[in-house]
Amino acid sequence: MEVRFIKSIHQVDPQQWNRLCGEDYPFVRHQFLAALEDTGCTTVESGWQVAHLLVYSGQHLVAAMPGYVKTHSYGEYVFDWAWADAYRRYGFSYYPKWISAIPFTPCTGPRLLVHDEHIPPELIPLIASALQQECERNAYSGWHCLFPIATQHELLLSPLVMQRLGCQFHWFNTGYKSFEDFLARMASRKRKNIIKERRQVRDQGFEFAVKEGDQLERADMDLFYALYRNTYLKRSGHEGYLSQAFFQRLGDVFAENLVLICALKHDVQGQKTIVAAALFVRDNQTLYGRYWGCFEEYQFLHFETCYYQGIDYAIANNVQRFDGGAQGEHKIARGFEPVITYSNHYLIAEEFRPAIGRFLQEEAEHIQQYAAEARTLLPFNK
């Protein structure tokens, strides 16, 4: 078997790549990664230089890892700024580095793509050796694998490959028939708080519309981009990591996996105007809360659009899990449960491994304790 690195997703046949992806987790599919690349979101200029890893047996593609050469740590959601600062203070360069990740997408999923999930025993040592050689050849500080599924995370571990834990909050469908059925599991006070929040949104004159799949039009994606851009400008002063062209491309080639939930407000003349929206990605099992935007802020509107409407959708469509994205302790009171996430880290510079290893061990203990404490705060009846 031979390992190759490519600088564009278009250097591999889409059908060959997608045969490795399975039915679920759409973020690794060729068309999603191509949409990021072709619309300028993952380029040398953006600090996300495409460097996908391919494994061939003859002319047959047997495995792949979506990969990028990074010159910063934005859009990763596994925060290593302190490591970069330590490198700088000791006269080392932390950037560039190679990562296997889905840009701007902190969603756990497969990072090593193989047909039928069968991983030949010789594949992991081959990939680890190729990554080490690629780092040494190109003066990368190391390689990192972010948000892999647990089984792949464990396969990638070795005495030189370190483990890092994180914690997110996901909602799980235990066979609910309705949102009221979900609320019935909760302690009375927690249930009343959610009912009150939802009522206040309705009392402000909002109703909600859902569009998905072939119902989505280019105008919908343009409107969503305007909402997304406006929110980023207000919060950070820039227009966001993703471009209008990216959202247009998603609508063109990825619509079957998209769910757009719009918040419409009645004005004094009784007209309905969209003032906020959340764009979700879905597969057969999971709803992924990905993007949000609004023209104006209203009390509890973000919670309603991004979380409660998502739960409504998941129940109505028999979706088993709702991944609400990174961070957010406010999700606990709304029924989102703590979930441990993983990442793998290999550093070329031996000088830094012991200190970072100790940091990761201490951090892991804190994360495990944090997740255990968060579980005690869930709103459900004991």
Q: Express each pLDDT in 102-111 by its tens digit.
A: 999 999 999 9
- Sheet of strand 321-323, all strands in order from the earlier edge strand to the far edge: 48-50, 68-70, 97-100, 142-146, 337-347, 162-172, 321-323, 286-294, 272-282, 258-266, 206-212
Kindly give the residue spans of alpha helices, DSSP state H, lying in 75-203: 81-89, 123-138, 150-156, 179-183, 188-203
- Rounded mean pLDDT of 203-220? 95
Residue 116 has pLDDT above 80, yes or no: no
Residue 334 in domain? no
Residues 45 and 153 in one domain: yes
Q: Give the per-residue pLDDT at 127.
A: 97
Out of 319, 347, 363, a domain closes at: 319
- Tell me the mean pLDDT in the region 189-216: 95
What CATH number did the domain enclosing 195 receive?
3.40.630.30
Q: Is the pLDDT confidence value at 277 over 80?
A: yes
Q: Do residues 232 and 344 share a domain?
A: no
* Residues 87 and 125 both lie in one domain: yes
What pLDDT score was predicted for residue 376? Answer: 95
Measured CA to CA in angstroms, residue 6 lies from 9, 49, 64, 126 at distances of 7, 10, 11, 17
Is there a domain that residue 331 lies in?
no
Provide the pLDDT for residue 74. 94
pLDDT tens, residue by residue, 57-81: 988 999 999 999 999 999 999 999 9
Angle made by CA atoms 282, 103, 306, in degrees to the nearest 5:
40
Reduce the DSSP state of residue 202 to 3 states and report it.
helix
Tell me: do 160 and 60 sit in the same domain. yes
Residues 8 and 147 in one domain: yes
Same-domain check for residues 229 and 344: no
| pLDDT one-digit tens code per residue, 318-367 | 999 999 988 788 999 999 999 999 999 999 999 999 999 999 999 999 99
Single out the residue of 110, 12, 129, 106 nearest to residue 65, CA to CA. 110
147 and 218 co-located in one domain: no
How many domains does the chain fold into?
2
Q: What is the pLDDT of residues 240-271, one digit of tens each?
A: 899 999 999 999 999 999 999 999 998 777 78
Percent over 70 (pLDDT), the chain: 100
- If asked whether residues 139 and 195 sit together in one domain, one would say no
Domain that holds residue 269: 174-319
User: Helix, strand, coil shares of the chain as percentages rounded to 5?
Assistant: 40, 25, 30
Task: Strands of 161-302 (E only): list them.
Answer: 162-172, 206-212, 258-266, 272-282, 286-294
Average pLDDT estimate for 279-300:
95
89 domain-assigned: yes
Q: What local confidence, expressed as pLDDT, does residue 267 receive?
A: 75
Mean pLDDT estimate for the chain = 95
Q: Say if CB 142 and CB 346 are below 8 A apart.
A: yes
Residue 324 lies in a domain: no
Enter the pTM of the model. 0.94
Instruction: Report whether 190 contacts 381 (CB < 8 A).
Output: no
- Which residue's entry shows tokens 């951090």? 363
Query: Tell me, what's the pLDDT at 271?
Result: 83
329 within a domain of the structure (yes/no): no
